[in-house]
Amino acid sequence: MEHEPARPRMWKAHGTGNHFILIDDPEGALDLTAQMVARLCDVRTGIGADGVIRVMQREGVWFMDYRNADGSIAEMCGNGVRVFVDHLRRRGFVDLQVGESLTIDTRGGTRKVDVISAPAFGDDAESGVWYRVNMGPAVLSGLGDMNVQVVGVPGTFSATRIAMPNPHAVIVLDSAETLRGAILPTVDNDEAPAPIRATYTPAPEAGVNLEMIVREANMPEPADASQPSVLSQDGGEAGTARGHLLMRVLERGVGETASCGTGCCAAAVAATMAASASGDEADAVPTSWVIDIPGGRVVVDCEGVVERDADGHIRLSPDTPVYLSGPATPVAEIILSAL
């Protein structure tokens, strides 16, 4: 008797509202097409997700095969890395306790992930765990060479473009109210109806993720100086100046999402560059940022990433990594009926 090939097992999980379908494929046997990814991610006729993560191994190393909701391939996904490692732990693929680390592989290179205790301001009572990811160095791809217009936000904004290594354009808005007023499509920007499309001049050839940030004057409670930093658990500098950002994001290949990990890293680096350029005393420039996105809160640490060369010009260190810390939350195991 002929047997149907076993269907791959799938799960749904999110990292601060950036939601993913995980497909177990340890042997890398599945032929995952762009069309399959797009069908799974369709919120009406599929499961609905911002992206698909195929859980596989390459030469004995766990590899995050990440795809955007439209089926396109991205180099990296910061929230995805946390969700990926959390899934490996829950499935028993790895044995990893708080205080331990795992190095995984992605198209953007290897990433070391520490399992840490959730900080006091995290809302992760269930697991009590956060993940802190070494996201590698940020690369400056352009400063003031791209203008951005967003529907609902008056004016034209000069972008700070940063590769993490996926491409990001960060613009700074003046207030939380302005940020709330932005109208963003829920599909890839190029596919959106013209009246709600964000405009990039010049248009980025391989697309771009857009981050809109607002710097808040005050730290959120209770994440003030009296709280232990999630960063200090791994040698982060006690007394590092901290800042607070609000952010919304328009993801390449997806549309507006509730969170973007690589985008938060790009935003933190851009905010540190802006604070350095505004002439703040070096030790008052925040290098650790609490970032509130619509789907929750993450922390980005970029100590030593923004440097000044001998002529006083701001540049990014090619060797110093950016760290992203945040939660990972399982949602469901999926049994497909159709698709």
Ligand X SMILES: N[C@H](CCC[C@H](N)C(=O)O)C(=O)O
Binding residue for ligand X, selected from 46, 71, 80, 296, defined by CB under 6 A: 80
Residue type, 311: D
Nearer to ligand X, 50 or 114 (CB): 50
Q: Should residue 260 be labelled a site residue for ligand X when binding is judged by CB under 6 A?
A: yes
Can residue 251 be called a binding residue for ligand X (CB under 6 A)? yes
Amino acid at 13: A
CB closer to ligand X, 236 vs 253: 253
Q: Which region, left, alpha or beta, applies to residue 36 given φ > 0 means left and ψ of -120 to 50 means alpha?
A: alpha
Q: What CA–CA distance (Å, rounded) separates 283 from 277?
A: 13
Choose which of 83, 85, 254, 266 interacts with ligand X (CB under 6 A).
Answer: 254
41 is catalytic: no
**Closer by beta carbon to ligand X, 241 or else 248:** 248
Catalytic (active site) residue 77: yes
Distance CA 149, CA 171 (A): 10
Q: Quick count: other Cβ atoms within 10 Å of Cβ 318?
A: 10
Task: Please list every residue from 292 through 331 that binds ligand X, using CB under 6 A.
Answer: none
Q: Render the burial of 285-313: b for 16+ CB within 10 Å, e for the rest.
A: bbbbbbbbbebbbbbbbbbebbeeeeeee
What DSSP string describes 96-120?
A: --TT-EEEEEETTEEEEEEEEEPPT
State the nearest-atom distance from the C-beta of 226 to ligand X, in Å: 30
16 scored as a contact of ligand X (CB under 6 A): no
Nearer to ligand X, 252 or 285 (CB): 252
Binding mask of the shown chain, residues 54 to 73, with x at each position contacting ligand X by CB under 6 A: --------------x-----
CB closer to ligand X out of 204 and 285: 204
Residues annotated within a binding site for substrate: 18, 68, 78-79, 166, 251-252, 261-262
Residue 60 CB, shortest distance to ligand X, in Å, is 25
Q: Which residue has the tokens 């473009």?
A: 161
129-154: buried (b, 16+ CB within 10 Å) or exposed (e) per residue?
bbbbbbbbbbebbeeeebebebbebe
Give 236's DSSP letter: P
* Nearest distance from C-beta of residue 26 to ligand X, angstroms: 23
Would you give the distance in Å from CA 330 to the centre of its chain? 17
Residue 101: strand pairing partners? 114
Q: Does 141 bind ligand X (CB under 6 A)?
A: no
The residues annotated as belonging to the active site are: 77, 260
Instruction: Give contact residues for ligand X (rule: CB under 6 A).
Output: 18, 68, 74, 77-80, 166, 209, 251-254, 260-262
